[in-house]
Structures are given as C-alpha cells and as structure tokens.
Amino acid sequence: MPKSKIARRLSLYFVVALLVFAIVVGAVFLLLFRNYTVSVHREKLRGYAESLAESLSGQSGPGSNQFGPYLRFAGEVAEADVWIVDENMELLTISRGQGMASGRYNYTELPENAGELIDEVFEGETAFSEDFSGVLSTPTLTVGAPITDSKGDVIGAVLLHSPVEGTAAAVNRGTWMLLGSLVLALIVAFVLSVILSGSFTRPLSKMKTTALRLADGDYSAQSGVRQNDEIGELSGVLDSLAVRLDKADRESAKLETMRRDFVANVSHELKTPVTVIRGSLEALCDQVVTDPEKVDDYHLRMLDESKYLQRLVEDLLDLSRLQNADFSIEKQPVNLCDILSDAAKSASALARERNIRIRTDFQSSCLRIEGDYGRLRQMFLVILDNAVKFSPSEASVDVTASEARVIVRDYGPGIEPEHLPYIFDRFYKSRDERNKSGTGLGLSIAKQIATRHGIALTARNHPEGGAEFVFELPTSTADATPPSE
C-alpha cells in the first residue's frame, strides 16, 4: 500500500469504482446471456413444432396410431413433451419423449398457463409461453403450432413443452468466468492504481516539502514540478510565491539596513549641533567665557547650530511626509515655466554672492502640468541651490525647458562616478568643504517630490564638464500650448 493518504484513497476509489462497474456490467451481461439462450431454444422448439404441425396437416386425423413412432421420434429429437389437442380443447395424443400413449386425456394434464396459448394457436398463429416449473424447478418453454386440414382450417394444435435446458448451467459458467475475470481485474486495477496514484501524489509531496521549507524561512525553495494541468499551475503559483517571498525578504533586509543607517545618520547629524550648543551654553553658564566679543561669538555659533537643527528637522518631516503614500499632494494645473522662473529668482540671491548667473531657456512660454506649485518650486530650488553650491565663482547655471524635459546644468567639477548612484540616498553627501552645511536630505526630498508628480529625476555628468540634473516630464500632462491672453 502507498504511504500517502491521498494515494491510498485514490487507489480505494479506483478499485471500488471498478467493482461497481463490473457488477453492473456482469448483471447486464448475465441477463442478456440468459435471454439469448432462451431465444435460441425458443426458435429451435418453434422449428420442431411447425415442422411437426406441417407433417400432421392434411392427414386422416391427428390421433391416428400411424403417427405414433413419428411423434415419439419428434419428442426424442426435440427433447420435449409433445401434446396434440383437437378443436374441442381435448388432449388427443401425448408423447413423453421416451414413451407414447394415445387416447383421450383430461385437459388439466396440459402445462400450466396453456389455455391462452391454445387459443392463439387455434387462431392460426404459432404461440409461445414461458413459465417456471415447480416440478422441474427450472424455467420452461411451451410452443404451440396449428394443425390444418386440406382446406386450411385449424383442426388441432401441436404443443411442445420443454425446460430451457443449459440456461442455468451456462449462466453459472458465465458467473464463475465473470467472477474470475473480476478478481483478476481487481488485482491488476489495484496494482495500476498504486502506480498511477503514486505518480499523481508525487508532485503534491514535492510541493508539500517546498511549502514546509518556505514556512521555515527558506525562500529559495522551488518545487520544480512542470505539468500542463491544475497541479502544474498550483506548482507554478507556489514557485512564484517563493520568488516573491525571497524578493520581499531581501527588500525587508535592505529596509532594515536602511533604517539602521537612517537612525545612525540622524543621530550623527543631531549629535554635532547639540554638542556645540550644549558646550557653548555650559561655557556661558559657568562663566568660563566672559569676554563680550567671545560671548557674542558663542551666541552666533549657537544660533547657526539651532538653524541647522531646524532645517534638519524640517527636511526630515518633509521627507517623511513625501514617502508616506497616505500624504496627499494637492495638484492643480500649473505653468512649469512660472515655477522655474520663481525658483531661479530665489536661487539668484545665493548666486549673486559668488557672481554666478542663472540663465533660463524656455522653448515654450507655457508648460502645463498637474502638480503642487509649492512642492515643485521646492524641488527645483533644491537642485538650483545644489548647482550654485558646486559651481565656481563667476560661472553660470543653465536651466533649459522643453516639452519633454527640464535640464539644470552647472559648470563645476561634476559628480565623481563612484558617488553618482547614491546621490539621491538619504544623508548621502560629499565631504566637500562647500557642502559642510548640507543635511544630506535635499536631493532625497527632490527625488520624492518628482516621483509623486510622475517625473523621472536623474543625474549625470556632462561630456564637456559639470553636472546636469534631468527632469523627464510625464507626456500625458505636458502641454506646450501658450496661455490665452
């Protein structure tokens, strides 16, 4: 027996189904076989009866003794009892197969239920009657054929009465043959069911092993079952689930690493200004510093550090809001050119201190987009401030806008190739002296704002020097139609 419960159940179902099928088929076969045997015997008796009636027709009388040997011979050949009945429904002659008697006998000596059969015979038809003999304990068959005179009138009836010999024996032989075939078929069916159920449950066992491995946290598990049926589809879903779980596990590990790094970075960024502020306050409270100029210097230092803390906290809040899918951005139709001009004017204050000029080149006076004016202005201002910060004195920053994209380019040293893939990560910033006041969150915030507006923000180095930030605008919202006057 197979070890699998479902395999045992399938084997049992298969054998039971075959057994029921065999019983039904056997019963139908035995019934049809018996009917066939009776039909053959009936046709044989009919032939004997009609031949005997034809021989007696047109003679001097059916009871004549000259037909004694003939009737005895007919009875022996047909292996049946032979009666001859006249038109008065009286028994004229009877043959018991091995002997013959003649004379007038009582009508009650005829076979049971012979009355209706005799009536049909005297109507000129060959009739049949099938019954069960209590004396012989076997099915019996009675056939009647009409005897006619020279004018064609029915003057008597020949009755042949015989048990349906061989039917019971044939049925018994058929039954034993059927039982033998059934036992052999059940043995073969059981062996085949074990083999077939094993091949059916083997993929299920593999999928069970895979599911247990997944439950234990081994997301690399694969069932490897490839079948073009429902089991194959289930296996494919299970393997797909394993791949997704493995991917989710890697993402979870990555997020956990990012969370630890984020906490460490925040702690590091907060530690320096808090330490400076605390040290300055302790020095002032303990009157370690009493010189008015130094006291003013300590106050300015604490003010700068507090501003840095405020900017850091605000950036963290902005980044947290933007990364939250539930945080909604109020979008409305805005002119991207107006936003770029506004951001360029705000960045010009820092640029003028270093004689840097911000140049704008808009191929259209109106670029329509669905977005939040304030957030988009914040995004462009972050990139412009970053470009001004890394540009040399008396250089320029170019802002080019077309229907498909916006490009902000500076003419500074560019971005080092090893830093380029990570510049949009939180708290990732270069150790350049020009970036010492940065929080490392500006570019991350700009990236999140762009993502929330369907804008693809990328950074690259220009072949002729400097860095450029490219904003790929969503084609469904860009509109180069000038505003109506």
- CA nearest to 479, candidates 367, 362, 401: 367
User: In whole angstroms, how large is the CA radius of gyration of the chain?
Assistant: 56
Q: For residue 350, count CB atoms less than 10 angstroms from its CB and return exposed for 0-12, middle for 13-18, buried for 19 or more.
A: middle
Residues 242 and 379 in one domain: no
HEC-encoded secondary structure of 130-156: EEEECCCCEEEEEEEEEEECCCCCEEE
The DSSP secondary-structure symbol of 124 reads T
Asked whether residue 340 is assigned to any structural domain, the reply reads yes
Domain boundary among 170, 192, 212: 170
pLDDT value of residue 64: 44
Asked whether residue 40 is assigned to any structural domain, the reply reads yes
**CATH number, residue 96:** 3.30.450.20
pLDDT at 94 over 70: no
Domain boundary among 276, 302, 323: 323
- CA nearest to 458, candidates 381, 387, 406, 385: 406
pLDDT value of residue 71: 59
Which strands form 405-409's sheet, in the order they lie side by side? 357-362, 396-401, 405-409, 467-472, 456-461
pTM of the model: 0.44
Residues 26 and 134 in one domain: yes
Least confident interval from 99-108, 335-344, 371-380, 470-479: 99-108
Runs of H (alpha helix) within 144-217? 167-215
CA distances from 134 to 31, 98, 131, 139 (A): 22, 22, 10, 9
Structure tokens at 312: 């850091």
Say how far apart CA 195 and CA 256 lie, in whole Å: 50
Asked whether residue 206 is assigned to any structural domain, the reply reads no
Q: What residue numbers bound the domain in which 399 lies?
A: 332-472
pLDDT at 477 over 70: no
Say how far apart CA 65 and CA 216 lie, in whole Å: 104
Residues 163 and 301 in one domain: no
pLDDT value of residue 481: 43
- CA nearest to 360, candidates 348, 384, 344, 380: 344
Asked whether residue 251 is assigned to any structural domain, the reply reads yes
pLDDT value of residue 470: 92
Residues 317 and 339 in one domain: no
Residues 377 and 315 in one domain: no
Please tell me the total number of residues recorded for the chain in this structure.
485
Residues 429 and 400 in one domain: yes
Query: pLDDT over 70 for what percent of the chain?
Result: 75
- CA nearest to 474, candidates 377, 376, 383: 376
| pLDDT, tens digit (0-9, with 9 covering 90-100), for 433-462 | 545 555 567 788 888 888 888 889 999 898
Asked whether residue 196 is assigned to any structural domain, the reply reads no
Residues 159 and 19 in one domain: yes
Strand partners, 334: 369
Residues 277 and 377 in one domain: no
Asked whether residue 208 is assigned to any structural domain, the reply reads no
Say how far apart CA 450 and CA 424 lie, in whole Å: 12
pLDDT value of residue 103: 40
Residues 336 and 460 in one domain: yes
What is the tally of structural domains in the chain?
3
Residues 302 and 383 in one domain: no
Q: Average pLDDT over the chain, rounded to whole? A: 75
| pLDDT, tens digit (0-9, with 9 covering 90-100), for 242-277 | 888 888 888 888 777 767 766 776 676 677 778 888
Asked whether residue 184 is assigned to any structural domain, the reply reads no
Query: pLDDT over 90 for what percent of the chain?
Result: 1
pLDDT at 411 over 80: yes
**CATH number, residue 401:** 3.30.565.10
Residues 301 and 345 in one domain: no
| pLDDT, tens digit (0-9, with 9 covering 90-100), for 176-210 | 877 787 788 778 877 777 777 777 777 777 888 88
Asked whether residue 57 is assigned to any structural domain, the reply reads yes
Residues 55 and 141 in one domain: yes
Domain boundary among 121, 141, 170: 170
Q: For the residues 83-91, what does the mean pLDDT come to? A: 70
**CATH number, residue 279:** 1.10.287.130
* Positive/negative CA dihedral, 239, 241, 244, 245: negative
Q: For the residues 322-338, what does the mean pLDDT come to? A: 76
Least confident interval from 62-71, 343-352, 388-397, 417-426: 62-71
Element (H, E) at 217: none
